[in-house]
A and B are shown apart, each in its own frame.
Chain A
Amino acid sequence: MEVHGEVWTLKELFVYPNEYIYWSVQIVMYPFMTGLVAGAFVLSSLYHVFGIKQLREMARFSLVLSFALLLAAPLPLLFHLLQPTRAFNVFLTPHFTSAIAAFGIVFSGYMAIVASEIWFVYRKHFVTQALLLRQKRDRSLAESLLHLLYSVLTLGAYDISEEALRKDEQAIRWLAGVGIPVACFLHGYAGFIFGSVKANALWMTPLMPVIFIMSAVVSGIALCMLSYIVVMEARRRRVSDAFAPYQMTREQIRGVELQEVTITARYLVFFMIFAISLELLDLVFREYTALKSWDILRRVIYGRDFLNIFILQYLVGNLVPFALLLLPRLTIRRAVVSLLLVLFGVFMMRWNVVIGGQAFSLSFSGFMHYHLPIVPHDLDTFKEGALGAAVILVVPYMLFWLFGKILPVFEPEETH
């Protein structure tokens, strides 16, 4: 009879008998996802709050993407729980000394902010669509359903006069402003979940929440830029296929795209510098103070996890894209490569924290290896294996696609 975690854990030297890798790939996915949420939101707020005009296109896009990611963010936790049907207990008897207990509250609060911001941004669209469909005679079933949907989405607020729209703008700015600290809190708090585990020598540092927020912003911006490029490229292709006179030519789209990407890349680099400095500070500090745990940590960091930490995370995931983004005359192709590497780097950072933190025994005298289950042979190896992680990556995009059906996420627009 197998204990949970036994299949993917390989022990070496002296490890306590009940120790296994209990927090596996889904707990890597969880901060990765919430990080993307927070980052995407911060990016969209840069436009709404600070009025960085050049980010207009990206802002609308990021907001909706952030919402899609947000809806998918509890999934990794659900996949991870051994009793997922009891997940609701967290709301019934939240035990507030636990960092996880507030998850439901922080999460729903944040969801409310993002949802209302989206509502204000697209309210005009809802109203015009609802009115348009209402006027239409003999609607098809689909159109009737759409009419119903849009009417509900207006929430009965049909006033789209100049004055009303100006008020909307105000509300958006306000929500985006409140959203930034809340987004940072949501993610910093994910960092706190790890940073406050005093039993774990690698996790326990007060820097953890800040490190998490910085890398979150990095990953969020990178994902938004990448998705933006994908969408714009698709649009460009559509223009060449159809002969209908579009508002923009292929060249124009390319121009806008490159401009947005170049500008956003500057913010990305800026946040990357912060993230890397903090991580290095943490490492240097540990090395310098050399507490009791440093002996085993050193063997993990410079030995067993050297490839993961220094080659994959720092070199491939940070240094290379950093250089690629900073070289003059950024091209879309170069941007895509660096963005993919940045995302990979942040993923590796999560991996090295979560899995690396369990790579050594609490006895400080042994090691544990994690073998990610690729081919599942039961529910556990599916949920907490490569397939389960893949599901988590796909779901937000399906949601995003769905939102794209009812919101003009991709069309250029005059307002906002």
Chain B
Amino acid sequence: MLTRRAFIRRVLQTISGALGAASVAAVVFRRRAAANTKTARWAFLVDTYKCVGCGFCVKACKLENDVPYEANATRTWVERYILTKKGELLIDTPKGARDGFISPNVQLGKNTYREVKPDEIAKAFFVPKLCNQCENPPCVQVCPVGATYQTEDGVVLVDRKWCIGCGYCIMACPYGVRFFHPVYRVADKCNFCYHRISQGMKPACVEACPFGARLIGDLSNPSDPVTQYIMTQRVGVLKEDYGTKPQVYYVGLSKEVR
């Protein structure tokens, strides 16, 4: 016969035993996991000299990341900057440049365009944009439920099952890269194709760019060519004064870039 006291003791023993085993297992597995993957620090390198504004990256991103093709929102986009000889600055990104820049006219409003003749132009260039995976991300700071979070390897992700759709992160991002996904109705943005890079593949846009204007690298690996470039060459980042410490580096930035 089991007395009550003996019963309780046995129950407690079983529970503590299980807890002990679980914590040992947790420590062991955590160690092993840490040993296997030395944490990367993902960074991006954009060479604006090489970009021709074809928009292949935008198209590839939409298809890869399940952002409705027709929706006026996109995880990455390309901007066109034209400085005229008169000093007028014209910027546009029709449909995020999903279809490339097929017209020389600059879009000023929904259906308004400004005609630009080739001999008017003083300088012109393209600037691809994407989430900067900020080291100090305001979007993560302001999310009230922790649905937007930063992984150990520095990528900022959104938990689609937990986001309440308040839009605070969209307001907080100085780069305007976030939007509400039209189907899932939660915050969405570029995540460097996390599902691909964590499997040793390259992001869809990097694969799609025919001119090598987009590169991904691991800053924790000193022999990574992207890391070496960032370390040894002159690169810039966007809107540094917000203190976000962006991790998308640009070659050939110009003061006109917004």
Bound together: yes
Residues of A within 8 A of B (CB): 1-6, 10-14, 16-20, 22-23, 77, 80-84, 86-87, 89-90, 92-95, 97-101, 103, 193, 197-200, 361-365
Q: Cα distance A199–B242 when bound, in Å?
A: 7
Inter-subunit contact A101/B180 (CB<8 Å): no
Do B185 and A11 have beta carbons less than 8 Å apart? no
Give the distance to chain B from A367, nearest Cβ to Cβ, in Å. 10
Q: Are B179 and A3 neighbours in the complex by a CB distance under 8 Å?
A: yes
Q: Is B156 an interface residue (CB 8 A)?
A: no
Which chain B residues have a beta carbon within 8 Å of chain A's beta carbons?
68, 70-74, 77, 79, 89, 91-93, 95-96, 108-110, 129, 138, 140-147, 162-168, 170-180, 182-183, 185-186, 242-243, 258
Among A13, A23, A97, A198, the residue within 8 A (CB) of B167 is A23
Q: Smallest CB-CB separation from A363: which chain B residue?
A: B258
A-B pairs, top 5 by smallest CB distance, nearest first, are: A82-B165, A16-B176, A100-B144, A18-B179, A363-B258
Q: Find out whether the CB atom of B173 lies under 8 angstroms from the CB atom of A199.
A: yes
CB contacts (< 8 Å) of A83 on chain B: these are 163-165, 185-186
Chain B residues whose C-beta falls within 8 Å of the C-beta of A19 in the assembled complex: 176
Instruction: Give Cα distance in the complex from A364 to B74, angstroms.
Output: 20
**Inter-chain pairs besides A16-B177, A18-B178, A84-B164, 5 sampled, C-beta below 8 Å:** A13-B108, A18-B73, A83-B163, A89-B147, A197-B142
User: What is the predominant secondary structure among interface residues of chain B facing chain A?
Assistant: loop
The chain B residue with its CB closest to the CB of A15 is B176
Closest to A193 in B: B168
Q: Give Cα A11 to B243, complex, Å.
A: 28
* A199→B145 contact, CB < 8 A: no
> Are B145 and A99 in touch, CB under 8 angstroms?
no
Contact B180 A3 (CB under 8 A): yes
Q: Is the CB of A100 within 8 A of B142?
A: yes
How far in angstroms is the closest Cβ of chain A from B112? 8
Instruction: Check B141 against A98 for contact (C-beta < 8 Å).
Output: yes
- Does the CB pair B182–A4 fall under 8 Å? yes
Considering the complex, give the chain A residue whose CB is closest to the CB of B69. Answer: A1
Q: Are A198 and B174 in contact (CB under 8 A)?
A: yes
Complex CA gap A19/B79 in Å reads 14
- Please measure, in the bound complex, the distance between the C-alpha atom of A77 and the C-alpha atom of B138, giving whole angstroms: 21
Check if B171 sits within 8 Å of A23, measured CB to CB: yes
Task: Establish whether residues B162 and A89, one from each chain, have CB atoms under 8 Å apart when the complex forms.
Answer: yes
CB distance from A1 to the nearest CB of B (A): 5
What CA separation (Å) do A361 and B171 show in the bound complex? 11
Most buried by B among A16, A23, A100, A363: A16
Are A81 and B109 neighbours in the complex by a CB distance under 8 Å? no
Contacts of B167 in A (CB 8 A): 22-23, 80, 82
Distance from A371 Cβ to chain B, minimum over Cβ atoms (Å) = 13
Interchain CB contact under 8 A, A3 and B73: yes
Of B79, B141, B165, most buried by chain A (CB within 10 Å of CB) is B165
Residue from A14, A197, A365 within 8 A of B172 (CB atoms): A197
10 contacts between A and B (CB under 8 A): A3-B180, A6-B72, A16-B93, A19-B176, A81-B164, A81-B166, A86-B162, A95-B144, A101-B145, A197-B142
Is there an interface contact between A95 and B164, defined as CB atoms closer than 8 Å?
A: no
Chain B residues near A4 (CB-CB < 8 A):
179-180, 182, 185
**B110 / chain A contacts, CB cutoff of 8 Å:** 10-11
A238 CB, min distance to chain B CBs, angstroms: 46
CB-contact partner of B182 in A2, A77, A93, under 8 A? A2
Question: In angstroms, how far is the closest chain B Cβ from the Cβ of A313?
Answer: 22
Known interface pairs A17-B72, A98-B144. Does A22 touch B180 (Cβ–Cβ under 8 Å)? yes
**Shortest distance from the beta carbon of B184 to any chain A beta carbon, whole Å:** 9
Are the C-beta atoms of A3 and B182 separated by less than 8 Å? yes
Q: Which residue of A lies closest to B78 (CB)?
A: A17
Q: Which residues of B contact A193 (CB under 8 A)?
A: 168
Contact, CB under 8 Å: B142 / A18? no
Q: Are A93 and B176 in contact (CB under 8 A)?
A: no
The one of B71, B108, B143, B175 that contacts A1, using a Cβ cutoff of 8 Å: B71
Q: Are B177 and A89 in contact (CB under 8 A)?
A: no
Given contacts A17-B93, A17-B96, A98-B168, contact A90 B144 (CB under 8 A): yes
| Interface pair B176/A94, CB less than 8 Å apart | no
